[in-house]
Structure 1
Amino acid sequence: MANVYGYIRVSTKEQNEQRQLNKMIDKGVEARRIFVDKASGKDFNRPQYKTLRRVLGEGDIVYIDALDRMGRNYDEVISEWKYITRELQADIIVLENETLFDSRKFREMGDMGRLMEDQFLSLLSYVADQERKKIRQRQAEGIAVAKSEGKHLGRPQLNLDTLSDKQRDALTTNYSRWKNKEITGVEFMMLLDLKKNSFYKIVKEYEAVGQ
């Protein structure tokens, strides 16, 4: 008997998968057959995707919210699409655009459908590659403009001047307590809301300017 599965991917642990989850449930997918990865889409080395791949069988259906939820490397997406639909004989339906992204429609057309699917996937790969090139070009242009304007790129440099008023107060109030071992370094870091490397950098600068 064929099974219906759902695959969900969000890029970080902070992102909420509930919107995608609701779509799967609306399609009647059982919660135990929904696989969720909180990982980058740069490749398919994701634990839940690997598990889904292992359990898929002939006639099964996989719902995905959008094609980029499957992955962002479109050459690999195409390879995975063909593996699932042709080798495993399962089907993929992309909810964002079911009219185009429903492998069952190509399957029903036989050899002609396979030819059309190949052309469609190749076009998809080309469009995605062009989009990646545009993004890289825009990023390069943005960096060049920022550099020409003398802007600092990357994280802001942490120093005494960039500390908040609260942090400066905590530093001046607790520095002598820390030196006299009334509080530990960890406690002092927590009071300053700084990580270890930043903490010692700030303390060194603080001591250099004579407190």
Structure 2
Amino acid sequence: MKNYAYIRVSSLDQNESRQLRAMAELAIPKGNIYIDKQSGKDFNRYNYQKLLQRLMPGDLLYILSIDRLGRNYREIQNQWRYLTEERQIDICVIDMPLLDTRRYKDLLGTFISDLVLQVLSFVAESERDNIRKRQAQGIAAAKARGTRFGRPEAKIPKNFKQLVNKWRNNKLTCEEILQTCQISKATFYRRVREMEIS
């Protein structure tokens, strides 16, 4: 029997140190700790899949909290059953002692674990939905304040209208204008359309 740990943060700029500290306290070897910096919406994660290849019946998998395993209600339920029933490994959710498959092997214990798992996986998915809503609200608020997203808009020279007139009269090519203005072809045609509308 070997002990493993799975750690997940949602993005590259998030820090996994809190989870690593928890695993260090359990003396899990570094080679048995798998870390993904990826969304918890599904289980198509590189290091999680590598971990699955190493797990053998009787092994123990530690995770700090159920939302580190995933954030999709059905997927968490399915993965839990796959790991515990098909792969025959034990799982210990550190911050939720009721979710420790080593302890509650009788019918009542299994029922309580299943119930807690359902509630926590529901909460994990709800939090994922709330995060998305908060992000959308934050973006909308930033746009309302005038914050622009994406690449900065290309600067157009003051004589752009004259250059376009020369282009229309075949005195300049589009490529010459692009080079002079240091803009892309898409920006050029978009600005020409805007001039026609205004």
TM-score (norm 1): 0.61
Q: Equivalents in 2 of 1:136, 1:14: separation in Å? A: 17
SS in structure 1 of the partner of residue 40 of structure 2:
coil
SS in 1 for 2:104: helix
Measured after TM superposition, the shift of residue 73 of structure 1 is 1.2
What is the Cα-based RMSD across aligned positions, in Å? 3.4
Residue in structure 1 matched with residue 101 of structure 2 by the alignment: 103
Q: Is the 8 A contact 2:41 2:70 kept in 1?
A: yes
- Taking a change above 3 Å as real, the CA distance of residues 71 and 91 of structure 1, as seen in their structure-2 partners, is same
Residues 41 and 129 (structure 1), Cα distance of their counterparts in 2 relative to 1, 3 Å cut: closer
Partner of 1:120: 116
**Deviation at 1:59?**
1.7
In percent, how many aligned pairs have the same letter?
A: 39
Deviation (angstroms), 1:139: 6.3
Unaligned runs of 5+ in 2: 156-178, 193-198
- Decide whether the 8 Å contact of 2:8 with 2:37 is kept in 1: yes
Relative contact order (C-alpha < 8 Å, sep 6+): which is higher?
A: 2
The aligned residue for residue 63 of structure 1 is 62
5 Å matches for 1:1-211?
A: 2-95=1-94, 97-107=95-105, 110-131=106-127, 142=137, 146=141, 150-152=144-146, 155=149, 158-159=152-153, 200=183
Equivalences, count: 162
User: What's the offset of the Cα at 1:14?
Assistant: 3.0
Select the structure that is richer in helix: 1
* 1:125–1:153 distance in 2 versus 1, CA, 3 Å: farther
Letter in 2 for 1:106: Y
Q: Distance in 2 between matches of 1:70 and 1:93?
A: 11
How far residue 80 of structure 1 moved from its aligned partner, in angstroms, is: 0.9
Distance of 2:87 and 2:20 partners within structure 1: 25
* SS across alignment from 1:104: coil
Q: Secondary structure at the match of 1:200?
A: coil
Aligned residue type for 2:7:
I
Residues 14-43 of structure 1, C-alpha deviations (whole Å, 9 max, x = no match):
333333223212201011111111222111
Q: Distance in 2 between matches of 1:150 and 1:15?
A: 27
Distance apart, 1:74 and its partner CA: 2.5
TM-score, with structure 2 as normaliser: 0.65
Return the alpha-carbon distance in structure 1 between the equivalents of residues 59 and 113 of structure 2. 19
Distance 2:109 2:93 in 1: 18
Separation in 2, partners of 1:67, 1:82: 14
Q: Which runs of 5+ in 1 are unaligned?
A: 162-184, 186-198
State the distance in 2 between where 1:133 and 1:47 align. 23
